[in-house]
Structure 1
């Protein structure tokens, strides 16, 4: 039997190992989910909401254990890990607060002799394949609305963060979620592929790479099931001449380097009006050099390792290739003595002299690296922001709301921000365009993705 082995990026040591589920195990888990779904869907919506609300409370009561697990598995500084628990609660509680409205029947205008309505039913069994970078936040986006809508859910977490799946399922069970309604599975890609290809799964939610999303699409081909795919980005920001520079620097440096830059909606490309360019770069470098790179279990650390040594090598290669093509790294690596040449501890990098022929500006780089370019106009900024195969979020920093709205209508993106970035508002739909994927999570539309509609046309005699 194969095993998953989780290596902690903190020290390169084995943290845990778990047996992978066999195909027989996967079939049993799916069968249990199918059987439990019928009874769970029959429970009144108010009962489901109450149980799920209690589950969120249980998770929060175990914040220290969740935070410790996140840090040890993927390296986020322990002082920042509790923020993910707060985000989980915000999203989960919001989604519960709109469940009744989102799932309410749509009743057309009256028509004599007829009763007509459009109602929403659960799709059945949902498979959520979640990543390691925000192991709770990415998962909760589908867990709460799927279960509230009357589905059951199987959570397959990254091999880097299996404890998060185990902790979530245990917490929900302790809150009273019935057996079979919410389960986890540790499995190989081949087992998950066979599960998706079988009649056992009715909807797949995936957050991860473009390559991984393609594998999901291939596995689901011909099954005509729903798929929600968030596949990453190379997110841009534009700092206009009228921006509050200090606020823009503070927000964008955090947006680029929080979680060691390992965020699908983290900032990777910054375009600054040429009149503010040098001042922006100088202030961004000064702020970046205040980060403390080190052991993420140390409360004073503000920048931890990236998830794996292999990922660090890939990030270093992006920096080296960009520099070879003419970029300049404005942050002196020797200011971060913990950084090593062959381990996951990376000094943050701010690259100037960049253009779109360089990988930092054209491809997703999942690490603490950002490129900054000067621009002469709004038109040039929009053209550069749209010059990407990704489209998850985009930001503009300005005091002119109308100008921001006009720019937002031109930028190809799923979410458009003014004077902020790298944030998910649960009241708004989380979606993307181009190679970022398709589908919707959060907001009332998140329920629509996890339900199917049925029309009732009743003729009265």
Structure 2
């Protein structure tokens, strides 16, 4: 069955791909399994060299990869170029640090024994990835896992098949074995069968909490390790001493990055009463000044939503919030133009349990809440089933860190928007998932942390292994 990628700016077909048949899928699984047997024995130094080569391939093809993202899912072209560069960065990062993170660790034990922990790869890992950061989400999985000696199989979102195939080609061009990283162009209805396949050792998913529950249930029944990075409704807390100009400028960026389609975008703006009116006035004005347009134009700040049905879902959430008693200060209607364009939107006076209060709004819609003080702001920030990221804005950095420690989230930032960084662990709590990507934590998620005990006879010297 053909898979079409459609340009959300124009509605035209970008490209058509043949989906993998059952035989194709089985062949790729077998190739992954066979490749793993040799790849696991490859020296960490060689794996690092290939990751460095992948970074070079990405940088050489940056403009082409960026344009592909913009065509398939509407990402503004400048952000798409930045995404490619970030993928190269994560490859470089593990090319430099993987050996350190995966080195054996000698730990204290009995005096007549050498005891250590060694980190060994598990096997083929299935990655189920979303469309919103179609290169970055994949590379932040692939780089640490290939460095660890695992091999990867990618089930990408159905609207970015071109990106899936391009990523596979990056690793092939960099010199990785053909089965080290492969793309599966299959439907969502085939995922459970792949997870249950004995050749799959673990599963990672970035997506909705509903998808996460389904994948975790299937993987759990097979006793397979999972890492889940799910949705978020990140609070952006503005205290009375916040540096207002910088706070507003960053608030707009934090809400509208990737046209609002980001798990870690700021979605709930929680502002103390003393500065609420000033923040709201400035925020609405700044949001209104953003350029909505063709993502291939460098002047564009906000491109289309990735698919028309996703825009329709977002608008239904906005309408339901307004019908419940919320107020719309800006935007609130699909734009009257070709393509899936939704404008920057600001909602206030949001009723409890309305969609803008309790659900994730995956698009350029900001929910602004008024609270009396810091304590109420923290309570409001934590009053959600999600727990991915959070930020607080204040002139008092000690106060900011104290507040950050009280957020129920996997990530907490003071005077900075929530973002991923190869050097730092990334992941959430509550309905935002579990497990960590990136940094040392990420490279150790899909490994066997094996304890080795080497006993010596009394009087023998302690064994030393270089």
The bucket for the TM-score relative to the shorter chain is over 0.9
Query: Which residue does 1:208 correspond to in 2?
Result: 207
**How far apart in 2 are the matches of 1:251 and 1:156?**
34
Counterparts in 2 of 1:342-357, with a 5 A limit? Answer: 343-357=339-353
Residues 445 and 280 of structure 1, relative CA distance in 2, 3 Å threshold: same
Query: Which residue does 1:77 correspond to in 2?
Result: 76
1:341 shift after superposition: 8.0
Q: Is the 8 A contact 1:26 1:191 kept in 2?
A: no
Name the SS of the counterpart of 1:201 in structure 2: coil
Q: Is the 8 A contact 2:2 2:19 kept in 1?
A: yes
Cα deviations by residue, 1:421-454 (Å, 9 ceiling, x for unpaired)? 1311222211111111111101101111021111
Residue range with higher mean Cα deviation, 20-29 or 36-45: 20-29
**How far apart in 2 are the matches of 1:246 and 1:15?**
41
Query: Which residue does 1:134 correspond to in 2?
Result: 133
Cα deviations by residue, 1:114-162 (Å, 9 ceiling, x for unpaired)? 2221101001111111110001111111100100011111111111111
Counterparts in 2 of 1:429-448, with a 5 A limit? Answer: 429-448=425-444
Residues 298 and 25 of structure 1, relative CA distance in 2, 3 Å threshold: same
Query: Which residue does 2:463 correspond to in 1?
Result: none
RMSD: 1.6
Query: Which residue does 1:414 correspond to in 2?
Result: 410
Q: Gaps (5+ residues) in structure 1?
A: none
Q: Is the 8 A contact 1:234 1:361 kept in 2?
A: no
Query: Which residue does 2:462 correspond to in 1?
Result: none
1:175 shift after superposition: 1.3
Query: Which residue does 1:93 correspond to in 2?
Result: 92
TM-score (norm 2): 0.95
Name the SS of the counterpart of 1:229 in structure 2: strand
**Among candidates 341, 362, 365, match of residue 369 of structure 1:** 365
Residues 310 and 341 of structure 1, relative CA distance in 2, 3 Å threshold: farther
Q: Is the 8 A contact 2:48 2:94 kept in 1?
A: no
Name the SS of the counterpart of 2:368 in structure 1: strand
Name the SS of the counterpart of 2:65 in structure 1: helix
Name the SS of the counterpart of 1:76 in structure 2: coil
1:23 shift after superposition: 2.5
Query: Which residue does 1:234 correspond to in 2?
Result: 233
**How far apart in 2 are the matches of 1:127 and 1:75?**
26
**How far apart in 1 are the matches of 2:81 and 2:339?**
26
**How far apart in 2 are the matches of 1:380 and 1:93?**
43
Cα deviations by residue, 1:211-254 (Å, 9 ceiling, x for unpaired)? 11122122213211110111111111100001101111011111
Query: Which residue does 2:55 correspond to in 1?
Result: 56
Residue range with higher mean Cα deviation, 172-181 or 261-270: 172-181
Counterparts in 2 of 1:303-452, with a 5 A limit? Answer: 303-332=302-331, 339-340=335-336, 343-452=339-448
Query: Which residue does 1:21 correspond to in 2?
Result: 20
1:199 shift after superposition: 0.5
**How far apart in 2 are the matches of 1:37 and 1:207?**
24
**How far apart in 2 are the matches of 1:226 and 1:345?**
39
Q: Is the 8 A contact 2:237 2:271 kept in 1?
A: yes
**How far apart in 2 are the matches of 1:122 and 1:333?**
49
Provide the aligned length of Structure 1 versus Structure 2: 457
Query: Which residue does 1:287 correspond to in 2?
Result: 286
Q: Is the 8 A contact 2:391 2:418 kept in 1?
A: no
Q: Gaps (5+ residues) in structure 2?
A: 458-466
1:200 shift after superposition: 1.4
**How far apart in 1 are the matches of 2:332 and 2:430?**
35
1:343 shift after superposition: 4.8
Name the SS of the counterpart of 2:79 in structure 1: coil
Residue range with higher mean Cα deviation, 91-100 or 30-39: 91-100
**How far apart in 1 are the matches of 2:338 and 2:233?**
25
**How far apart in 2 are the matches of 1:47 and 1:397?**
44
Name the SS of the counterpart of 1:80 in structure 2: helix
Q: Is the 8 A contact 1:145 1:450 kept in 2?
A: no
Q: Is the 8 A contact 2:58 2:87 kept in 1?
A: no
**How far apart in 1 are the matches of 2:19 and 2:437?**
29
Q: Is the 8 A contact 2:239 2:392 kept in 1?
A: yes
Q: After the TM superposition, list the runs of 4 or more consecutive aligned residues in structure 1 that deviate by more than 4 angstroms.
A: none
**How far apart in 2 are the matches of 1:294 and 1:263?**
19
Cα deviations by residue, 1:188-209 (Å, 9 ceiling, x for unpaired)? 1222211101101101110011
Name the SS of the counterpart of 1:38 in structure 2: helix
**How far apart in 2 are the matches of 1:253 and 1:112?**
59
